[in-house]
Structure 1
Amino acid sequence: MWKLWAGLVIGGAAFGASADLILHNGKVVTVDGAFSVQQAVAAAGGRITAVGSNEAVLRERGPATKVIDLKGKTVLPGLIDAHVHVLGSALSEWREKLPVFDSIATIQKWVREKAKITPKGRWIIVPRTLPPRLKEMRMPTKQDLDVTTEHPVAFDGSYVWSANTMALKISGITRDTPNPPGGEVVKGPDGEPNGILRNAANLLKGLPRAEEYPESERLAAIEKMLRLYAEAGLTSVADRAVSPAEAKLFEKLKAEGRLPIRVALTWRINSNPPVEQIVKMI
């Protein structure tokens, strides 16, 4: 994939050699200061060498140049997504597709079906879903999740979770439970927990451990996710929360030539230990 960037050379060549690739007869969105749209673009050595009119750019053609007639199609600069979680996204559907939740009713239906095949007393975890995707535009409450009374149910809303009555009971969460640091046990008008836990999912007891994947599957999942990003027009992404172990996976893919796009990694430090220990880790 040729990566186009803002600050392109307009009209002239940056190199004396012939272009490797010319795209012409299209709409080339340059994202320059004037946000101009040109007709053609040339590239050589993985770099943009010329952008401008068809006539001007086609002068860069040589005997080995690949020339593509865009027939009016649009060329965009490579897009950058500055906040992704590659491994989590990749593994979320690696072994099975995620259910589609667009309302609390669809969540309730899924919980009922899961309850039929889950032993009594075992946790049912609703896969991560952000409330803005739901028709109701809100978090489910314990009443919403009480469609089964024989299973503890938790709804994963990322930083905010919610739980049904049984989940609150076995976790010992009551009206007298103190809020954890930076979190909140949300109460209803009656003063009782309504099931919503803001930055307080750690109060839930006995949650099943995350599914484990061998390194080979994690590597393959990351590579597949990055290729999906590339197909969507992304040429760079920034993963905002990786551990040192996860960073090594990306390093291995890079060494094997299996990174189809650029990736920037941000180390998420465990902030729970004492400050001195955190400084030492850094």
Structure 2
Amino acid sequence: MRPIAIIVCCLFASASALAQPANLVLRGGNIVTVDETFRIVDAMAIRDGRIVATGTAADIETAIGPDTQIVELQGQMVLPGLIDSHVHPSNASTFESDHEIPQMDSIEDVLNYVRGRAKVVPKGEWIHLSQVFITRLREQRYPTRDELDSAAPEHPVSFRTGPDGSTNSLGLKENGIDKEFARKHPENVMVDPATGEPTGVLRKASAVFKSRPNRSAKKLTEAERDDRLKMLLDDYNRWGITGIIDRNCNDSARAQYARLLKSDRLQIRVRMSRSLNPNGDLAAIEKKLDTIAADPYFAGPDPRLGVIGVKVFEDGGMLTGSAYFNQPWGLSTIYGIDDPNYRGMQYIDHQRLESLVRSCVQRNLAFTAHCQGDAAVDALVDAFAKVNTEIPVGPTRSTLTHSSFMSKRSIDTAAKIGIGVDLQPAWLYLDARTLVAQFGEPRLKYFIPLRSLFDAGVKAGGGSDHMQKIGSLRSVNPYNPFLGMWIAVTRTARWHDKPIHAEQSISRQQMIRFYTINNAWMMRNEHETGSLEPGKRADFVIVDTDLLTCSDDQIRETQVISTWIDGKPVYQSR
């Protein structure tokens, strides 16, 4: 079709769309469409939950009928609904169902919490504390066996951060971990080099360490769990979030989303990366993949709920001293590393990783793996590249998850293959101080390398890895998208005196794409959401700050006035 004919058709379609009154019109503001040219308009018309026109107020005047709701923006900014590429809502929503857990910034905060729990938990029962990252404690280390003993001498204690953690003497005893056991499991049990006694710090703890649930903790009914999940999803809406990807969705969480959808309580778009155990018989894994591919939420996803693929864990964590690197971690009192050749933990070998990628791509499932260190990223990129010579990987929307440490080679290869990258800016803010202390600044050149990814044309999407608590700034990790935008623009790290590789900062336009259209692409939903264009669903957020012109510090202070999905408000501040 000739260009002139295309223009005529578009004009005809627009005129046809405006021939009937709109249900809703917004006008008099800065409506950021996030279309290909990042057009900003002052009016938008919506009918039956979809955008029918954008332009000037005069352009859409004919769409206003006697029953049209009109929102006078008075200069306010409108963005496409924000999307978080990485959350864990089901577990996060129930984390404080028994009792509130305070912010912890030091070992003493941790010990005070344990002391408080020791007063209410029956003697002999476990005290659990998880995901208090040592990189975020001022001392930058795990609490030791002796410290935990002093806080809870009559309770076994489990302090877990990702795959690693620490425990006290009763916790070690209950698991049969002593000096002899430590000698046989040097990769798991950290010891005092002078005595050979376990320090209480455990690597890949689940391989050698088990704890029991606290029998006195509050037990939630199915209805109570669903109510708490709805409470969290409502708080996502309160911060302008209209879409999320659950990046390790198990059967229980899938069932929860389905129940909320059925009862018309799912006021957010959810896409699921189903959890997958990569170990064991490959034929059994492929049978599991067949089941996931046959899920009706994959074959014919609902507008609100769908499956996109699977997630596995390829290496450990950068916050716990177990990410898999090309170069050794280096000796570390922060992470308790005394082996100069230690490079971290690799959980999946190259051959198995390639087989998993191939099996997913053959079923059109998006494959992703938790990969933090640059060696883990390289391994997954290489697996994608190998499979891509046989079957195109890009159309599956497969991604690298976290990929906090990258290289120019891995970025260029990701761009060539067409895979996405799911990143967490808040980790730069909360954890870079510790990483600089451990590695030195030069080694962080490609740490959360946003500018390099955008320049290469990689679809980079902003996420939070929200794991615990309800509350956009008190959560672990914080899911406030405006905090993430501010970090992406400024590269600011807490308790650190200068930006972390400021050359990797991105522009205001890019920071908005980072939380909108790029994540819609990862959701396999960019034809429906992620930008404000005629024909797309009317998911948008009205904010009190012009994010394109405000000062850097004002970005993180942005407040949401209202959030809309399918042209209906799901949150209003007033």
So what's the TM-score if we normalise by structure 2? 0.43
Task: Give yes or no for contact 2:82–2:243 (8 Å, CA) kept in 1.
Answer: yes
How many Å separate the matches in 2 of 1:73 and 1:188?
60
Farther-moved stretch of structure 1 (62-71 vs 264-273): 264-273
One of 115, 131, 152 as aligned partner of 2:156: 152
The answer for the alignment partner of 1:249 in structure 2 is 256
Counterpart in the other structure of 1:200:
205
Greater alpha carbon shift after TM alignment, 265-274 vs 74-83? 265-274
Deviation at 1:108, TM superposition (A): 0.9
Moved more, 53-62 or 236-245: 53-62
Indicate the residue corresponding to 1:94 in structure 2. Answer: 97
Superposed, which structure 2 residues align to 1:180-219 within 5 Å? 184-190=188-194, 191-208=196-213, 212-219=219-226
Unaligned runs of 5+ in 1: 1-8
| Contact 2:17–2:52 (8 Å) recurs in 1 | yes
SS at match of 2:58: helix
Question: What is the Cα deviation at residue 281 of structure 1?
Answer: 3.3
Q: How far 1:127 sits from its partner (Å)?
A: 4.1
AA at the equivalent of 2:224? E
Residues of 2 paired with 1:23 and 1:56: CA distance?
Answer: 12
Q: Please state which structure has a larger fraction of its residues in strand.
A: 1
- Which residue of 1 is the match for residue 48 of structure 2? 45
In 2, the alpha carbon distance for the partners of 1:163 and 1:253 equals 38
Asked if 1:225 is matched to 2:232, the reply is yes
Measured against aligned partners, the alpha-carbon deviations of 1:189-226 in whole angstroms (never above 9, x if no partner) come to 43543322232135224422686432212222222222
- Distance across 1 between alignment mates of 2:49 and 2:27: 17
- Asked which structure has the greater RCO (Cα within 8 Å, sep 6+), the reply is 2
Q: Partners of 1:128 and 1:14 in 2: how far apart? A: 54
- Can you list the C-alpha shifts for 1:221-259, whole angstroms capped at 9, x where unaligned? 222222111111111111122223432222222122111
8 Å Cα contact 1:238-1:266 kept in structure 2: yes
- Counterparts in 2 of 1:142 and 1:53: CA distance versus 1, 3 Å: farther
Give, in whole Å, the separation in 1 of the partners of 2:16 and 2:145: 63
Moved more, 169-178 or 44-53: 169-178
Partner Cα separation in structure 1 for residue 15 and residue 131 of structure 2? 49
Cα distance in 2 for partners of 1:170, 1:143 equals: 16
Secondary structure of the 2:108 match is helix
Deviations 1:69-118 (A, max 9, x none): 11222211111112111210111123433322222211111111222233
CA distance in 1 between counterparts of 2:36 and 2:141 reads 41
> In percent, how many aligned pairs have the same letter?
35
List gaps (5 residues or longer) in structure 2: 1-9, 290-574
- TM-score normalised according to structure 1 size: 0.83
3-state DSSP of counterpart to 1:25: strand
TM-fit CA distance, 1:173: 2.0
Query: Any conservation in 2 of the 1:237–1:262 contact (CA below 8 Å)?
Result: yes
Mean alpha-carbon deviation: is it higher for 245-254 or for 61-70? 245-254
Q: Which has the higher helix share?
A: 2
Is the Cα–Cα contact under 8 Å of residues 126 and 214 in structure 2 kept in the other structure?
A: no
How many matched pairs? 271
What residue number does 2:275 align with?
A: 268
Instruction: Name which of 56, 59, 62 aligns with 1:56.
Output: 59
Question: In the alignment, which of 77, 80, 87 is matched to residue 77 of structure 1?
Answer: 80
Match of 1:28 among 14, 31, 43: 31
